Amino acid sequence: MKIKTYFPAIVTSLLSLLVLIGIPAWFLINAFTSKYPEDVSTKISLSLKQALPLVALIIVFLWLGAGVDFGLTRIKDKARRKAASLIVYLASFFVCLVLPLLSLVFVYGIFSAGEGWKKLPAPPETPVAVAAGGGSSLTIETENGNYYYCWVKNLAGCWQPDDKPSSPVIGSENNTTEVTGNMPQIAPPDGVVSMLGISHRNGPELFEFHYAVLEDGTVWYLEREVNSYGAWFITGLLAMLVVPILFCSLVFFAGVGVSSLARWLAGRIWREFETA
């Protein structure tokens, strides 16, 4: 019966031994199949320095998972044990796996979405449509049939009289600026009567501008950097923290799974022995 009780620990020990031997062996094989470094002692030293921290990390979290599983089995009441196991596993799954992944998506979404919709100064006449757009500029049509131009980088000089555009793209479409059918990543304010999306490339950077006229006569715009290098950089920094957490979490759940499976197998094997 003692073997049955400690069978999960025996299996986890064997798995730990396999990790202790297999991972350094894998690093050594890679080192000796490479030309550099040439010195044998250096190959061995570098391989062990790379392998042993990883081995220690895997073994620690493997046993941590097995320990949690063993601790839950010490709860005598079956209903409480099932409830506690469900709470522990779901909480661990959310904190260790779901939350880190959601944080990556959330951070990238915040830094790539831009600053949101911005309201432009009131036009001299009531606008009815966005007649044309460009990179940081737009022309509106008013209810009187007049046209006004605004460069959003200079709001003080916004809404200069303009001619009727010959194209929905200011200055006509070219290889850097064109109309896009992409919907804005952030929903516009309510009451849109006219909206125009413009894709504008400035060197390696790609921007999307959306201009909207609302029912109340206000004009809004949204600027977003599509290939936001800043967003990728921040997300990459966060990933450097999240990826190790995910790896350790997977090892932890592997320890839980191995311990649970070993305990189940032990129960089946000893049950057959007892009935034989």
- pLDDT tens-digit series, residues 223-253: 887 765 555 566 666 677 778 888 888 888 8
Q: Indicate if the pLDDT at residue 144 is higher than 60.
A: yes
Helical segments of 166-228, H only: none
Q: Which of 5, 156, 143 is nearest to 74 (CA)?
A: 5
3-state helix, strand, coil split of the chain in percent (to 5) is 55, 20, 25
The domain spans of the chain are 2-111+233-275, 118-227
| 248 residue type, one letter | C
Contacts of 44 (CB under 8 A, 6+ apart): 28, 31
- 118 versus 38: the higher-pLDDT residue is 118
pLDDT > 70: percent of the chain: 85
Task: State the DSSP code for 226.
Answer: T
Phi, psi (rounded to 5 degrees) for 201: -105, 130
Q: What is the pLDDT of residue 78?
A: 81
pLDDT in tens, 36-59: 777 888 888 888 898 999 999 999
Phi, psi (rounded to 5 degrees) for 194: -155, 135
Beta bridge partners of 248: none
Q: What is the pLDDT of residue 232?
A: 58
